[in-house]
Copies of this chain bind each other. A is one copy, B any other.
């Protein structure tokens, strides 16, 4: 049987995805400063010319890679692991913790820190970072459904910022068991707050 014919658009979209995955890999392995567009292209099996057809600069490529990773994780959660039932907020916190304990968090922290002293990167990153923040909040609004929207936003923002801090702790080799204990304490605090 002949392989299905791929359109130009399908090929372009696959190439783009391969480039973005290679970008995340490099960023996580080498950090922002240690990553070059040349190495990303080599990993993705693309020439520099073919890459520039998709993204013009390292800063744009990196920002789109973060967005791509976020969207892939969010799609996967919505498609297969959306929590239900009365403890869905608690399960939702676990999902957020999972997202903040892995590649997404490492990539995001690398970019945020690099963006502090890199104006071009900051210009690309800020609107994407805000959009991802809003998407996360919207996800939790739909998940929890009932209750005070401002209250949910406060809990979510405290949780996100705590998890960012814990992600930093993990990045520098802090103790796993201590982080797990802090997560349990935090869930107890949040649930008590909602109950009280």
Contact = CB atoms under 8 A, between A and B. Distances in A.
Using C-beta atoms within 8 Å of the partner chain, give the interface range for chain A. Answer: 35 or more
Interface stretch (A52-60, A76-84, A156-164): A156-164
B31 A113 contact: yes
Interface stretch (A4-12, A43-51, A121-129): A121-129
A191 interface: no
Interface stretch (A14-22, A67-75, A134-142, A168-176): A168-176
Contact of A168 (B34, B109, B157): B109
13 contacts: A31-B116, A31-B117, A31-B118, A112-B168, A115-B172, A122-B173, A154-B185, A157-B182, A161-B166, A161-B182, A164-B165, A165-B165, A168-B168
| The 3 residue pairs across chains A and B that have the minimum distance between CB atoms | A33-B33, A164-B165, A161-B165
